[in-house]
Amino acid sequence: MLIIIFLFFYLVTVSGNVVIITVICLELRLQKLVYFFLVNLSFLDMTYTFTNVPQKLYNLVGERKAISFTGCATQMYFSLSFGMIECILLGVMAYDQYVAMYHQLHYTVTMNRVTCVQLGITSWISSFLSSLVINAFTSSLPYCGPSVLNRFFCEVPTVLRLAFTDTSFLEMVVFVFSIIIVFIPFLFNMVSYAQILLSIFGRHSTAGRRRAFSTCVSHLTVVALFYEMAIFVYMRPQSGASQAGRKVIPLDYTVITSMLNPRSTA
């Protein structure tokens, strides 16, 4: 049953995002700045699921459910990097939608091509560098294998529990990075969408209010789901969650939201 579920989510995510990217690239009317971040998000969601879903499927099918330390560190690095990029990118997209709806006359000036490219590049580079710092600290800790990961894929909070040393300092480092890259963009999203909703309810046209509201609600729902689950995993004390919760919740923000994100935004 798990093989069927994971494979279904993976195929839908990859095929759906490939279609979105292809349509935007081929359709001249869609080659606008407003779709720039959507292409980034679609490509990101494909690469994000690729870092962990194939390993999940291999572990479910194969008899030898193991991964090398190097493979675990590599998976942990890219999974964390893509997760950080998504956190920042969703915050940038919320600001983009806020400017598009709340300051329509200034949109082309505020969100010009140079600004969008700079925001996109900053999201990717800052996330890769931040993940490099965290993974360098995590990989340098003393481990005595073979160890059992009570998770479907390698993730920093899980790997830290296997270290034969005090990890309180590194947990604090992860917490600080989580505040900067997860919690602050989450608050930024909430503030931006609060302003958008106020703008929507201030419209006199019922049809315009309904159209704008439907555009934002689906995206806001998926975004809130992603941030809440990421905050639960990375900002909650390690002893505060059950083993079942630690194992199931990452499937939510690494698999399900990757499948829903581009559709809710589109």
Span 42-72, pLDDT tens digits: 888 888 888 888 877 887 787 777 888 888 8
- Please indicate whether residue 126 or residue 264 has the higher confidence score (pLDDT): 126
pLDDT for the residue 236: 64
pLDDT for the residue 171: 85
pLDDT at 261 over 70: no
Question: Using omega within 30 degrees of 0 as the cis cutoff, is the peptide bond preceding 262 cis?
Answer: no
pLDDT for the residue 125: 92
pLDDT for the residue 238: 54
pLDDT digits (tens, 9 = 90+) for 102-131: 777 777 777 788 888 888 898 899 899 989
Measured distance CA(197)–CA(219) in Å, rounded: 13
Would you place residue 262 in the very low, low, confident or very high pLDDT band (cuts 50, 70, 90)? low
- Please indicate whether residue 58 or residue 101 has the higher confidence score (pLDDT): 58
pLDDT for the residue 179: 84
Whether 23 and 30 have beta carbons less than 8 Å apart is answered as yes
HEC string of 29-57? HHCCHHHHHHHHHHHHHHHHHHCCHHHHH
pLDDT for the residue 56: 78
> Which range among 20-24, 67-71, 91-95, 233-237 shows the weakest confidence by mean pLDDT?
233-237
Measured distance CA(49)–CA(43) in Å, rounded: 10
pLDDT at 188 over 60: yes
Sketch out the chain's domains with CATH numbers: 2-265 (1.20.1070.10)
- Please indicate whether residue 78 or residue 5 has the higher confidence score (pLDDT): 78
